Amino acid sequence: MNIGILALQGDYVKHARAVEKLGHTSICLKEADTLQKCDKLIIPGGESTAIIRLIEKLKLRPALLEFAAEHAVMGTCAGLILLSKIPGNLPFPSLGLIDIEVERNAYGRQIDSFIDTVQITLNGQEQDFEGVFIRAPKIKKYAETVEILGYHGTDVVMAQDKNILVCSFHPELTNDLRIHDFFISSVD
């Protein structure tokens, strides 16, 4: 399977490595035409304002929305913010593909970054996962259609609505491939 990774900003290379370790092809993309080669798409963490500005500058919005109408998309950290319906303060509208409201930088500034155990549910199985939180957002509200898949304490940090999967944390910064594998094999 060909997994596209939006390569505008953030640690897209780590996502590419995770995809390749699972035996799939990663395609780092910066142009709309490259989406035609992809079966699924990952929008990585990074700085959400910088990424949304580049999406607008490169005129990627229509292609991303068209792609997401028929393909699975995963967003981590800033990717979650960009996919959310209510993202907080951004200079342009988000992509609005999952009906959640997000609190940006909910855990504090860069210096407040941390690693802690999160509880996730993948394919009906509850399990622990090492969550890497870097200026991470938090899901404050969500529609009834949104399935909650992960918690850090009582905070919602992972969710899915049909073909859209989002995480507040950075699974690509661990050696644990379960979330990437779940996205590739189970999210359609």
CB atoms within 10 A of CB 16: 22
Alpha-carbon distances, residue 13 vs 16, 118, 183 (angstroms): 5, 24, 17
Alpha helices of the chain — where are they, by DSSP H?
A: 12-21, 48-57, 61-68, 78-83, 178-186
Give the domain range for residue 35.
2-186
Q: Is the pLDDT of residue 107 over 90?
A: no
Cα of 116 vs its chain's centroid, Å? 18
CATH of the domain at 32: 3.40.50.880
**pLDDT above 70 coverage of the chain, percent:** 100
- pLDDT tens-digit map of 139-153: 999 999 999 999 999
Residue 174 CA to residue 132 CA, distance in Å, equals 8
- pLDDT tens-digit map of 45-79: 999 999 999 999 999 999 999 999 999 999 999 99
* Least confident range of 96-100, 102-106, 165-169: 102-106
Per the residue annotation, which of 15, 77, 167, 180 is the catalytic one? Answer: 77
pLDDT of residue 22: 98
Dig out the tokens for 4 from the structure. Answer: 């596209």
Residue 2 CA to residue 26 CA, distance in Å, equals 6
Q: How confident is the model at residue 123 (pLDDT cuts 50, 70, 90)?
A: very high
Per the residue annotation, which of 15, 38, 103, 172 is the catalytic one? Answer: 172
Query: Count of domains in the chain?
Result: 1
Residue 94 CA to residue 128 CA, distance in Å, equals 30
Question: Is 144 a catalytic site residue?
Answer: no
Question: Is 77 a catalytic site residue?
Answer: yes
Alpha-carbon distances, residue 73 vs 19, 115, 183 (angstroms): 14, 25, 8
- Whole-model pTM? 0.96
Dig out the tokens for 153 from the structure. Answer: 């304490």
| Residue 109 and residue 74 in contact, taking contact as beta carbons nearer than 8 Å | no
